[in-house]
């Protein structure tokens, strides 16, 4: 498989899931490289990879996590593959940053989901160090100060995960089934009940 050709915009490709998951929040543009900065905002489904979705035939196999796997890091620098974090369970990947208002606004909903599905679903909250002054230390402090220290937080130090999934906006959420099939994704704040319904389906 040509990974470079298929990586572009996977997360926006599943428009149906985006409509299921996303709430009212818009997505804020995430940086494409370390040290850059931007304050632009974009609508939840306006990213250019949507063109790839229209060219993907319905009879093709669903994209798999193995084709887009990436290394992220714990706060103390331990490298983890996303597939390792999944550990055979459904996986929710949330790309976020402390400077993103809709990211932090949806965290109470994720706290609810963690309490309800933390035993049957793996979560990876992937922060973007280097974006708008974001650092591992700043993110860790914010999590602790706001009551989210139990969140399984990881850091995209190499920007590999953001690149592989085409996560150009924050927040972005990717949902992966236990068999490794990427179910789809949404850019923008999640809708709690809709996400709860998706996770219920994946675990029953």
Number of domains comprising the chain: 1
Percentage of the chain lying above the pLDDT 70 cut: 72
Say which range, 8-12, 71-75, 112-116, 167-171, has the weakest mean pLDDT.
8-12
Closest CA to 143 of 108, 118, 168: 108
Give the CATH number of the domain where residue 170 resides: 3.40.30.10
Name every residue whose Cβ is closer than 8 Å to that of residue 4 and which is 6 or more positions away in sequence.
Answer: none
Question: Which domain does 92 fall in, by range?
Answer: 3-53+62-203
Tens of pLDDT, residues 165-204: 988 889 999 999 999 999 988 889 999 999 999 999 999 9
Q: Which of 3-12, 44-53, 127-136 has the lowest mean pLDDT?
A: 44-53
């Amino acid at each position: 498989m040509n990974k470079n050709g298929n990586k572009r915009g996977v997360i926006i490709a599943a428009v149906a899931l985006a409509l299921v998951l996303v709430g009212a929040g818009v997505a804020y543009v995430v940086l494409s490289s370390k040290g850059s900065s931007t304050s632009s905002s974009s609508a939840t489904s306006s990213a250019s990879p949507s063109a790839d979705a229209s060219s993907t035939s319905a009879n093709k196999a669903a994209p798999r996590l193995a084709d887009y796997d990436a290394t992220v890091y714990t706060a103390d620098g331990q490298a983890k593959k996303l597939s390792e974090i999944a550990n055979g369970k459904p996986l929710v990947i949330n790309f976020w940053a402390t400077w993103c208002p809709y990211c932090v606004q949806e965290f109470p909903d994720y706290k609810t989901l963690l309490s309800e599905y933390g035993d049957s679903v793996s979560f990876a909250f992937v922060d973007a160090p280097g974006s708008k002054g974001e650092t591992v230390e700043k993110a860790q402090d914010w999590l602790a100060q706001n009551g989210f220290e139990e969140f399984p937080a990881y850091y995209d130090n190499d920007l590999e995960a953001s690149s592989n999934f085409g996560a150009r906006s924050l927040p972005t959420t990717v949902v992966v089934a236990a068999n490794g099939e990427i179910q789809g994704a949404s850019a923008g704040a999640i809708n709690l009940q809709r996400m709860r319904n998706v996770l219920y389906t994946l675990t029953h």
